[in-house]
A = this chain, B = another copy of it.
């Protein structure tokens, strides 16, 4: 028999209670022994009241879970980073195995937590932290272990993807789409973490570590969100055959790792372009396996609980068989001692969508393309639309591959031109088929 203690009866915690109590038979058949939810701690009396657990299995104090010598596996589901960090570190120091769904905790304090676990010889499992119920970390750590991961593109935040889908399909503004997402329960009252790309960056930090066997490192990941998006750009992008998605991107160029989160144009026939609403998906390329797509619900009560319980089962199997740390948490031995350099955003080479507001058409195109050319940026396609937006006419250019620093410098210079109304708007494009010059 393996005994589990649960800290936090919020949405995901309630889902875990349901799975552990309602399908004890299935879990016992999978495990070969019983998996018992010994106790759950929840500070909110209302949440305790509505829990189906008997009063003797409920407590208001997380410490009661940590103090119970019977409990083999502690499941942290309170979220946040400060209290969660303390609880997880204490559970580890007391020799408990830990399951968490807390991506912020891992992105900010993951190295500390994993080092403590390594020293104590216990396990920390966190499948639910990225892509909810989709078994993505299992795939990276084990299923694709023979591969060098070349690149990963991820739609990792369902709230942002829901908002982008609304903006794209209905022409809604960001504010309208956010309000709709909040009304539907897909966005929180304070949506900052989701719409500014921060939650996506937390998850990307975890993916980078697992893909490249490296310590967790949030700081060098460049992040921009979707709150400033103009629906006009989604519409114009579509005319070039692109969809806009908030992507987490990591790529191994052999020496350095790219790691960035930003709204990205991808071809409309790309598998990720069809991922709509609150779904998550990851499109990754391994050098042996080629491209792989994993798709599913990245959040929500039962999908996230599904991943948490799969981690509990995994740790329980190890307990039963008397084996510890059979698979390194970051996919390789000594990953915490193998830092990887993240390429500065300025060095990244990609294609760009650039929209200028032209005040005075004659001569504009030659002045703009002159400055772009000076910075080694060549143009693959142009649309110049008749419609006026605030007295100016939008000109959109799709560029060939250019270095980010050059693109930014060129835009700064173009914004000084008297014939354009600054600032120019630009988005990065990920399109493997973009090459033939059209101008």
Contact = CB atoms under 8 A, between A and B. Distances in A.
Interface string A234-250: 00000000000000000
A234 to B, nearest CB: 19
9 contacts: A27-B145, A31-B333, A135-B142, A142-B313, A271-B274, A271-B295, A289-B306, A318-B326, A321-B323
A71 interface: no
Contact of A19 (B146, B274, B306): B146
A305 B143 contact: no
A383 to B, nearest CB: 27
A78 interface: no
Contacts of A288: 15, 19, 133, 302-303, 305-306, 309
Nearest to A314: B142
Given A294-B294, A296-B292, A148 B23 contact: yes
Contact of A146 (B292, B297, B309): B309
Contacts of A332: 26, 29-30
A229 interface: no
Top 4 nearest A-B pairs (CB, nearest first) are A135-B143, A133-B289, A146-B309, A293-B295
A256 interface: no
A307 B288 CA distance: 9
Nearest to A335: B29
A287 B290 CA distance: 30
Contacts of A148: 23, 26
Interface string A130-148: 0011110011001111111
Contacts of A142: 135, 138, 310, 313-314
A331 interface: yes
Interface in A12-63: 15, 19, 23, 26-27, 29-32
Contacts of A403: none
A333 B145 contact: no
A318 B306 CA distance: 25
A30 B295 contact: no
B293 A296 contact: yes
A362 interface: no
A150 B135 CA distance: 17
A333 B138 contact: no
Given A32-B333, A323-B322, A296 B290 contact: yes
